[in-house]
Chains A and B, each alone.
Chain A
Amino acid sequence: MENLDALKSELSGMIKSAADGDALEQIRVSALGKKGQITALMKGLGQMDPKERKAAGQQLNVLKQEIADQIDARKDELENAGLDTRLAKEKIDVTLPVRPEQMGTIHPISQTTDELISIFGEMGFVVAEGPSIEEDWYNFTALNIPVDHPARQEHDTFYINAEKEGQRMVLRTHTSPVQIRTMQSQKPPIRIIVPGRTYRCDHDATHSPMFHQIEGLVIDEATHMGHLKGCLIEMCRAFFGMDELPVRFRPSYFPFTEPSAEVDIGCAFGDGTLKIGEGDDWLEILGSGMVNPNVLENCGIDSTKYQGFAFGMGIERMAMLKYGIPDLRTFYDSDMRWLKHYGFQPLDVPSLVGRAGL
């Protein structure tokens, strides 16, 4: 059956040169179909003598299989080539911008407040709040700032028409009235921080008629000035993310604390820029002190049994120092460009333990 080799090479050639699926199908029909060449040869086997038939049958089966395999292989080949061509045609410009999406930002005041809450929260403080509109007694008198005392001049107070107990009500000049409200309503031990809006009658490059403070108050039987130092040094270092940040306490005066201390952090002024944690200069960031016994007594707390400390700082100021925001007044302008630039991603939630620092 020497002509089988010729048939095989003829079919193989045709398969290889088949241009598409249709041509290949024609070849299959002409070779393996009911009337195909190989099928015809298979049919011819019946007339052979049994001895020849066995050998010829085996050869034909091999050929049939080979041709079928070659057709399948060519079919795959042609299909792959088709896909590649299609994909090549489907190419798009991936440098085109994505569909517009909008992501808002968190205001630096909120972010800084959350950062400070996360720090003090780790130290066991809880957040307390109170109203913006206050009675004179809570804002001044209870805090040991008596009527007509010159110290009141330091607080350029906004007054409103409403009166309580014969005194005009005020927009709180600090968040300290919340300390009073807390001490009146809660028994020691007390450990609170008070973030919130505060108001002073002042408007220039470094003063805004409204700004934010965060204050803290600790009252128990044993907390002393060493704790005050420990607490605030830890806070400063955690907030600015500097383990070695120099922190200095120096005596000062506030009517509601005795002794009183102002807290400075180490920095370098120079070349018009401020570098925190470097150099020989000091920058004041906090007021603090041991709660004045008069304040405790004003709140009905026995000052012979309880003591503790209080502190306060400006939230905007902390944000300005940490994030290099140059101008206080811009915080309240609601300029979208500013908010985008100095704002924070919404999922950037401050945590001392959840992230790699604040």
Chain B
Amino acid sequence: MKFSLNWLKEYLDTDKDLDEILHWLTMVGLEVEGVEDRGKLVKEFVVGHVLEASPHPDADRLQVLQVENGTETLEVVCGAPNARAGMKGIFAGNGSYIPGLDVTLKTTKIRGVTSNGMMLSEKEIGLSEEHEGIIEVADDAEIGSPAAVALGMTDPVIDIAITPNRGDCNGIYGIARDLAAADVGTLKPLDVPKVKGSFASPVSVNIDFNDDHKDACPMFVGRYIKGVKNGESPQWLKDKLLAIGLRPISALVDITNYMTIAYCRPLHVFDADKIKGNINIRMAKEGEKMLALDGKEYEMDGEMTVIADDQDAEALAGVMGGERTGVSEDTVNVMLEAAYFDPIRTAMTGRKLNLQSDARFRFERGVDPAFLVDGTEIATQLILDLCGGEASEIITAGAEPDWRREYFLRDNRVEELGGVEVSPERTQGILEILGFEVIKVDGGWKTIAPSWRYDVVGEADLVEEVLRINGFDAIPIVPMERETALPHGAINLAQDRRSLVRRNLATRGMTEAVTFSFLPKDQAELFGGSPESIELVNPISTDLSIMRPSILPNLIAAMGRNADRGLSDTALFEIGPQFAGENPGDEAIVAAGLRAGKAIPRNWTGGVRDVDVFDVKADALAALEQIGGPAANAQIAQGAPAWYHPGRSGTLQLGPKSPLAHFGEIHPAILKAMDVEGPLVGFEIYLDNAPLPKSKNQGKARPALNLAQFQAVERDFAFIVEAKVTAEDLIRAASTADKKLITEVTVFDIFTGGALDDNQMSVGITVRLQPTEATLTDAEIDAVADKVIANVAKQTGGILRG
């Protein structure tokens, strides 16, 4: 909302300076967004007096002026048709910058005549598009005085943000009232004239609603004014509107704009001679059409309120008037309308038609339902003053809606809720200046909210009024006290695990990314698909159209983008939600990661290696180890969901029903569909599936440590097994050969080919024996070795390689 300082001062009697007013605007909740010092625009220009104007010797359309600028008289070449001797205008001397032309003036020769400056048009200053002629200022403007004064541009324009609850401050008078309450000045009483109607309105008004719609327009006030002349507005009115960026149109239109800005009282003026019959306020007919003042035709539905004559809709209630009955310079008789329209219905109408207007903005935030008649009187007087004519008696339809709401403010409530003591006198005073009816009774105040403050709906609102006007700065700062001397944990175990896994993966060389929770539908399909129920109704683009069933596609796309930038040895992970449906339980927190390129890049020590499945298996295992508890002992199963390579993927699980993690190479077909170069290896860790310990302290105490006194021994074996035998089978067979002595079995070699059959492989394992009672003798070691060979043969069919 824009307004000028002087316009504000028409309603607020104050000796405070601009800075103080700006401070208090913000501190009562009317946030200052900017102050425009329009004088700056013209600060290099002065009032110039044209002493002589003679034809240019060498150009028909130019004149040579002698301009007095207060210090000297200069020769100026000018092309404006209105330039003439004796006039006063705005002069720009050499060295000044002309914003409308984007030039800095210097002495120039125009067709042989030297020009030492310019007389300016509005367009050249940047005030408007007006370029027909140069600006003329009043005859009494002092020669050489600042242009800002002569142009009425010394008045700063303030722009404030109005929160949606403060409809009343969409008029300057409401702003003045808030400032007055905060002791910035005194609110001047509204000067409401009582214009006596000299005849009965020839047009009648009828409100025509069924019971479902009777709130659409509870009251309508009209007045017929005959014999007006709709010319240009006087300068004071044009200046006011121009200052806040409104283009003056004609006196009648300018008056309605003035009433809107000054008093938040949107009005409409119909050309009464174009109204066919009488005025009816009714719901639009389904499909009814109207050409509005913005030149566009709108098709309405049965939930929109219109103001119609006996034939057609002539205005979209509260939003915009119709073109057909709009006023023009030929208008002679007018019908002035001031109504109260339902805020929600007005908002819905505007939204459905995608039509914004100053009127809609105010009606949907609520205008004062008790200001219809007074607003009509003020506007009538302005019309009579500026356009002449004769006013009818006021006609009304409907009745003022009941806005009187009573709320009780308890004595101690401001201090209880606000934490600041405000004296009873000040409390009552603030509310009274704001327009509340206040009666002190035992234990508090009975209040009735003013008609313009529909946002006040309870005691807390009364507290807010007192607190904000008294100033939030006055509220003492009180530290938050904890209930306990020491802080307790702020996060629970599940949250802690996420944090640990995040930092664990990062230490493993993976970089954390955050990607959107939605993705393109076709990508969702590649990862098992998302149900239609979680498809967005109004996505921003088809790329963000459905909730993701997996984090991987977003990461794959990110890997692709990085590869396109030449970053190929990358490792990314994200911890976030994936979605199986719309219910809270369908949202799972997953840690997903991808690696690409070289695990060990080319370097002078050698050892170059591509990333492979075992890198991401290690990531998944490290994460589960970090989570701890049973998850650290997950079993491995071959295979993973369809988006992984069927032969190069695995699942970590405690049982077949709840996988803890999948890992593997991403299926090449997926990469092809997403147009990303492979291979990529990745994992998904289902953090929610990792069991939580039963109690907070469970598992914190470590089991007793039993350090063996005797030297451990290692023995290597090479077994030839069928290729279908897994490493885990073999390790299990070897480990269980002697559960007491064997503490560890590791694989150190895998060999295929050579003399082996196609379906055979050789696996080298190291078995570690840890005696607990005495050092092992050769015979004892040989005995264990025999047991290992026997057990492997029995469980896997493996034969010791000769």
List A residues at the B interface (Cβ < 8 Å): 96-97, 99-107, 109-110, 114, 117-118, 120-127, 129-133, 148-151, 153-154, 158-162, 164, 168-169, 171, 189, 193, 197, 199, 201-203, 209-210, 218, 224-227, 229-231, 233-234, 248-253, 258-262, 290, 292-294, 307, 331-337, 339-340, 343, 346-347, 349
In the complex, are the beta carbons of B506 and A105 less than 8 A apart?
A: yes
**In the complex, which of the residues B492, B514, B601 contacts A127, with contact meaning CB atoms closer than 8 Å?**
B492
| Contact (A161, B534) CB under 8 Å given A122-B487, A346-B506 | yes
| Contact (A230, B582) CB under 8 Å given A199-B517, A259-B463, A261-B472 | no
Interface string of B423-460 (1 = CB under 8 A from A): 00000000000000000000000000000000000111
Residue of A with least CB distance to B161: A252
In the complex, are the beta carbons of A225 and B418 less than 8 A apart?
A: yes
Minimum C-beta distance from A298 to chain B (A): 14
**In the complex, which of the residues A110, A117, A126 contacts B488, with contact meaning CB atoms closer than 8 Å?**
A126
In the complex, are the beta carbons of A259 and B467 less than 8 A apart?
A: yes
Q: What is the CA–CA distance of A99 and B601 in the complex, to the nearest angstrom?
A: 9
**In the complex, which of the residues A122, A201, A290, A346 contacts B503, with contact meaning CB atoms closer than 8 Å?**
A346
| Contact (A104, B484) CB under 8 Å given A225-B475, A226-B476, A292-B460 | no
Q: What is the CA–CA distance of A120 and B476 in the complex, to the nearest angstrom?
A: 21
Q: Which of B561-602 contact A (CB under 8 A)?
A: 561-562, 565, 567, 570-573, 575-577, 579, 581-584, 586-587, 600-601
Minimum C-beta distance from B2 to chain A (A): 20
Top 8 closest A-B pairs, CB basis?
A102-B509, A226-B419, A121-B490, A251-B29, A334-B558, A253-B163, A346-B506, A259-B464
Q: Which of A224, A251, A335, A340 has the most CB of B within 10 A?
A: A251
> B491 interface residue, CB < 8 Å from A?
yes
In the complex, are the beta carbons of A126 and B507 less than 8 A apart?
A: no
Interface size of B by CB at 8 A reads: 105
Interface string of B601-616 (1 = CB under 8 A from A): 1011101000000000
Residue of B with least CB distance to A96: B604
Interface string of B338-372 (1 = CB under 8 A from A): 00000110011001000000000000110000000
> B511 interface residue, CB < 8 Å from A?
yes
In the complex, are the beta carbons of A103 and B506 less than 8 A apart?
A: yes
> B538 interface residue, CB < 8 Å from A?
yes
**In the complex, which of the residues A107, A109, A132, A224 contacts B417, with contact meaning CB atoms closer than 8 Å?**
A224
In the complex, are the beta carbons of A227 and B478 less than 8 A apart?
A: yes
| Contact (A107, B513) CB under 8 Å given A259-B467, A334-B562, A346-B506 | yes
> B673 interface residue, CB < 8 Å from A?
no
Q: What is the CA–CA distance of A153 and B343 in the complex, to the nearest angstrom?
A: 14
Q: Which of A103, A132, A233, A248 has the most CB of B within 10 A?
A: A132
| Contact (A160, B533) CB under 8 Å given A105-B511, A124-B482 | yes
Interface string of B95-111 (1 = CB under 8 A from A): 00000000000000000
Q: What is the CA–CA distance of A150 and B468 in the complex, to the nearest angstrom?
A: 23
**In the complex, which of the residues B343, B488, B506 contacts A150, with contact meaning CB atoms closer than 8 Å?**
B343
In the complex, are the beta carbons of A161 and B467 less than 8 A apart?
A: no
List B residues at the A interface (Cβ < 8 Å): 26-29, 31, 163-166, 343-344, 347-348, 351, 364-365, 415-420, 458-461, 463-464, 467-468, 472-473, 475-480, 482-484, 487-492, 495, 499, 502-518, 532-541, 544, 547, 554-555, 558, 561-562, 565, 567, 570-573, 575-577, 579, 581-584, 586-587, 600-601, 603-605, 607
**In the complex, which of the residues A103, A127, A154, A202 contacts B490, with contact meaning CB atoms closer than 8 Å?**
A127
In the complex, are the beta carbons of B565 and A339 less than 8 A apart?
A: no
In the complex, are the beta carbons of A210 and B517 less than 8 A apart?
A: yes
- When distances are taken between beta carbons in the complex, the residues of chain A under 8 Å from B495 are 127, 129
In the complex, are the beta carbons of B512 and A209 less than 8 A apart?
A: no
In the complex, are the beta carbons of B538 and A159 less than 8 A apart?
A: yes
In the complex, are the beta carbons of A124 and B418 less than 8 A apart?
A: no
- When distances are taken between beta carbons in the complex, the residues of chain B under 8 Å from A258 are 458, 460-461, 463-464
In the complex, are the beta carbons of A124 and B534 less than 8 A apart?
A: no
In the complex, are the beta carbons of A336 and B540 less than 8 A apart?
A: no
**In the complex, which of the residues B468, B480, B577 contacts A251, with contact meaning CB atoms closer than 8 Å?**
B468
In the complex, are the beta carbons of A201 and B538 less than 8 A apart?
A: yes
- When distances are taken between beta carbons in the complex, the residues of chain A under 8 Å from B555 are 334
- When distances are taken between beta carbons in the complex, the residues of chain B under 8 Å from A218 are 480
In the complex, are the beta carbons of A159 and B517 less than 8 A apart?
A: no
| Contact (A349, B417) CB under 8 Å given A209-B544, A334-B562 | no
- When distances are taken between beta carbons in the complex, the residues of chain B under 8 Å from A106 are 502-503, 506, 512
Minimum C-beta distance from A338 to chain B (A): 10
**In the complex, which of the residues A110, A121, A132, A229 contacts B475, with contact meaning CB atoms closer than 8 Å?**
A229
In the complex, are the beta carbons of B511 and A343 less than 8 A apart?
A: yes
Q: What is the CA–CA distance of A17 and B373 in the complex, to the nearest angstrom?
A: 128
In the complex, are the beta carbons of B577 and A233 less than 8 A apart?
A: no
Q: What is the CA–CA distance of A168 and B544 in the complex, to the nearest angstrom?
A: 18
Q: What is the CA–CA distance of A258 and B417 in the complex, to the nearest angstrom?
A: 10
Residue of A with least CB distance to B593: A104
In the complex, are the beta carbons of A160 and B537 less than 8 A apart?
A: yes
14 further interface pairs, Cβ-Cβ under 8 Å (given A124-B480, A346-B506)? A131-B587, A132-B517, A150-B365, A153-B351, A161-B537, A201-B538, A201-B540, A209-B516, A226-B419, A229-B478, A230-B478, A249-B473, A258-B461, A349-B503
**In the complex, which of the residues B464, B492, B514 contacts A109, with contact meaning CB atoms closer than 8 Å?**
B514
In the complex, are the beta carbons of A259 and B534 less than 8 A apart?
A: no
Q: What is the CA–CA distance of A125 and B491 in the complex, to the nearest angstrom?
A: 9
In the complex, are the beta carbons of A124 and B458 less than 8 A apart?
A: no
In the complex, are the beta carbons of A150 and B164 less than 8 A apart?
A: yes
Q: What is the CA–CA distance of A150 and B458 in the complex, to the nearest angstrom?
A: 20
In the complex, are the beta carbons of A249 and B472 less than 8 A apart?
A: yes
Q: What is the CA–CA distance of A268 and B365 in the complex, to the nearest angstrom?
A: 34
Q: What is the CA–CA distance of A220 and B673 in the complex, to the nearest angstrom?
A: 55
Q: What is the CA–CA distance of A321 and B579 in the complex, to the nearest angstrom?
A: 32
**In the complex, which of the residues A96, A100, A148, A227 contacts B347, with contact meaning CB atoms closer than 8 Å?**
A148
- When distances are taken between beta carbons in the complex, the residues of chain B under 8 Å from A193 are 490
**In the complex, which of the residues B165, B420, B582 contacts A133, with contact meaning CB atoms closer than 8 Å?**
B582
| Contact (A334, B513) CB under 8 Å given A133-B582, A252-B163 | yes
In the complex, are the beta carbons of A203 and B604 less than 8 A apart?
A: no
Q: Which of A160, A340, A346 has the most CB of B within 10 A?
A: A160
**In the complex, which of the residues A100, A226, A233, A293 contacts B603, with contact meaning CB atoms closer than 8 Å?**
A100
In the complex, are the beta carbons of A133 and B490 less than 8 A apart?
A: no
| Contact (A102, B502) CB under 8 Å given A120-B490, A259-B463 | no
In the complex, are the beta carbons of A161 and B532 less than 8 A apart?
A: yes
In the complex, are the beta carbons of B572 and A334 less than 8 A apart?
A: yes
Minimum C-beta distance from A142 to chain B (A): 15
In the complex, are the beta carbons of B418 and A121 less than 8 A apart?
A: no
- When distances are taken between beta carbons in the complex, the residues of chain B under 8 Å from A334 are 513-515, 554-555, 558, 561-562, 572
Q: What is the CA–CA distance of A92 and B472 in the complex, to the nearest angstrom?
A: 70
In the complex, are the beta carbons of A209 and B347 less than 8 A apart?
A: no
Q: What is the CA–CA distance of A124 and B458 in the complex, to the nearest angstrom?
A: 31
| Contact (A99, B351) CB under 8 Å given A158-B538, A226-B476, A336-B567 | no
- When distances are taken between beta carbons in the complex, the residues of chain A under 8 Å from B460 are 258-259, 290, 292-293
In the complex, are the beta carbons of B417 and A290 less than 8 A apart?
A: yes
Residue of B with least CB distance to A154: B164
- When distances are taken between beta carbons in the complex, the residues of chain A under 8 Å from B508 are 102, 104
In the complex, are the beta carbons of A99 and B603 less than 8 A apart?
A: yes
In the complex, are the beta carbons of B534 and A133 less than 8 A apart?
A: yes
In the complex, are the beta carbons of B420 and A226 less than 8 A apart?
A: yes
- When distances are taken between beta carbons in the complex, the residues of chain B under 8 Å from A123 are 480, 482, 487
Q: What is the CA–CA distance of A260 and B364 in the complex, to the nearest angstrom?
A: 21
Q: Would you mind naming 29 contact pairs between A and B with Cβ atoms under 8 Å apart?
A: A103-B509, A104-B505, A106-B506, A121-B490, A127-B491, A150-B344, A164-B582, A199-B517, A209-B540, A210-B517, A224-B416, A225-B418, A227-B479, A229-B419, A229-B475, A230-B478, A233-B477, A249-B473, A251-B464, A251-B467, A251-B468, A251-B472, A253-B164, A253-B166, A258-B463, A307-B416, A307-B417, A334-B562, A347-B503
Minimum C-beta distance from A105 to chain B (A): 5
- When distances are taken between beta carbons in the complex, the residues of chain A under 8 Å from B558 are 333-334
- When distances are taken between beta carbons in the complex, the residues of chain B under 8 Å from A250 are 26-27, 29, 31, 472
